[in-house]
A and B are shown apart, each in its own frame.
Chain A
Amino acid sequence: MSARPGFWRQVYDSVFRHKFGDTPRNRMLQITSNVFLHLHPATVRRHGLRLRYTWGMGGLSFLMFLVTVVTGVVLMFYYRPTAATAYIDMKNLQHEIPFGMFQRNMHRWGAHAMVILVWLHMLRVFLSGSYKPPREFNWGVGVVLLTLTMLLSFTGYLLPWDQLARWAITVGTNMAAATPFLGHQGPGAQLTGVTERTDVRALLLGGPQVGDAALLRFYVLHCVFLPLIASTFMIVHFWRVRKDGGISGPPATDSDAAAGRSGGQS
């Protein structure tokens, strides 16, 4: 391929910024010269392969995010977020649309798995002390991402528009009404002057109860607003993992230092 200039050579060169040959230099360039530079490390340290240390939880959480994004977009082709259509659209997806049940269940289980994996990811980072310098900032970013994951899960809960969905969101938003200062039933509501129509619950529901306005609001939050914000924070999160010395590993020992190897902590 490299010997004869031609059409396909030009196509290849237009897409990739390195030569085709399987050399260590080209393998490195595959990583460092493409758009995923900050996502995938140019070199993988030996400790990075030790599943017992990281549990692979961060990567798996991200995988679940990708699964829900892809299947979620598929579901959007049939789902209409109004009280009159939401439930029947969900049922049609399950029973009438080819592979609809599969897509919906992938989305549902992927979402459940993401919530569980994100918590386990936090647990692992805590247990291995991977929040310590220079990774404190990324712990903070992770806390925001954890919150966004819960919000994505909560907003998606309403969309099937069945009894469970409606009453769960009724309960959840009534809890928001008890937020200090921001909820009309919470402490300090007199101070801020929020009422049933102007408090944080009204902001979430767009009306006095869980109805059409709430469904539309949760839909937009779930499909556009929160994924965009979560994606932004994920970009920062992964970039900081790279900049803070790659995925965390065991601290460097004296024998490592003597042999010129570096640990993963810093």
Chain B
Amino acid sequence: MTEEHAKNHLWGRRDWLTALGWTAIAGALLAGTAAFGRLLFRRAPIEPPTQFRAGRPADYAAGTVSDRFVKTWRVFIVHENSQLYAILGKCTHLGCTPRWYRRENKFKCPCHGSGFDTAGVNFEGPAPRPLERARVWLDDAGELWVDVGQRYARENWGQPGAHVRVSAARERA
């Protein structure tokens, strides 16, 4: 390539090819990085089932907190004020599973010491809000079901799925 040629052409053939080559390399790296980023999120997230049968309402005596489903489903079943509800055992601070202490009548998180009363309302430690509740309902046979995939924060505890009414008559029976 002569000097005169270079003067007349801002971009010579070699410049174009160089730019093209580097663009191709940068593009390939960029595309590869983007593809890898997308690869880290699967198309069909593999998640465990969320619904389970929790027995009959009569299994849960009035005024008690049951932790029989904590190891398997991370749920406490509470029977209080003629209501059955399922408290999700996931601390609202950083996600550890609180334990139920019957004598102290409270949930206590082992990680950072958050405490919750039987309704799941936080009263000590760093937890910023009450424990969430899972959806509960009774099927036609009168069995209690829980769906941990549907959750209710405190402002939604009044909604139908957040609790099941247990009549006093049924309790005695």
Residues of chain A whose beta carbon lies under 8 Å from any beta carbon of chain B? 167, 170-171, 174-175, 197-198, 202-203, 206-208, 213
Bound-complex Cα distance A54 to B47 (A) = 52
Task: Assess the B47–A206 pair: CB atoms within 8 A.
Answer: no
Task: Assess the B95–A198 pair: CB atoms within 8 A.
Answer: no
A175 and B94 contact, Cβ closer than 8 Å, known pairs A167-B111, A208-B47: yes
A206 and B94 contact, Cβ closer than 8 Å, known pairs A171-B111, A197-B45, A213-B46: no
Q: Which positions 28-61 of chain B face chain A at CB distance < 8 Å? A: 40-42, 45-47
Number of B positions contacting A (CB below 8 A): 11
Interface membership of chain B positions 109-129, coded 1 if the CB is closer than 8 angstroms to chain A and 0 otherwise: 011000000000000000000
B17 at the interface (CB under 8 A from A): no
Q: Which residues of A contact B95 (CB under 8 A)?
A: 170-171, 174
A227 CB → nearest B CB, Å: 18
> How many inter-chain residue pairs (CB < 8 Å) link A and B?
27
Q: Which residues of A contact B94 (CB under 8 A)?
A: 170-171, 174-175
Q: Which residues of B contact A198 (CB under 8 A)?
A: 41
B19 CB → nearest A CB, Å: 27
A203 and B40 contact, Cβ closer than 8 Å, known pairs A167-B111, A171-B94, A171-B96: yes
Task: Assess the A170–B96 pair: CB atoms within 8 A.
Answer: yes
Residues of chain B whose beta carbon lies under 8 Å from any beta carbon of chain A? 40-42, 45-47, 94-96, 110-111
A207 and B45 contact, Cβ closer than 8 Å, known pairs A167-B111, A171-B111: yes
Q: Across the A-B interface, give the 8 residue pairs with the lowest CB-CB distance, nearest first.
A: A174-B95, A171-B94, A174-B94, A170-B95, A167-B96, A208-B47, A203-B40, A171-B111
B50 CB → nearest A CB, Å: 10
Q: Which residues of A contact B46 (CB under 8 A)?
A: 207, 213
Bound-complex Cα distance A1 to B110 (A) = 70
Q: Which residues of B contact A207 (CB under 8 A)?
A: 45-47
Bound-complex Cα distance A148 to B34 (A) = 22
Bound-complex Cα distance A167 to B45 (A) = 22
Bound-complex Cα distance A170 to B96 (A) = 7
A168 CB → nearest B CB, Å: 9
Q: Per a CB cutoff under 8 Å, which of A167, A202, A208 touches B41?
A: A202
Which residue of B is nearest A208, CB measured?
A: B47
Q: Which residues of A contact B45 (CB under 8 A)?
A: 197, 207-208
Bound-complex Cα distance A193 to B41 (A) = 15
Bound-complex Cα distance A167 to B97 (A) = 9
Q: Which residues of B contact A170 (CB under 8 A)?
A: 94-96
B33 CB → nearest A CB, Å: 14
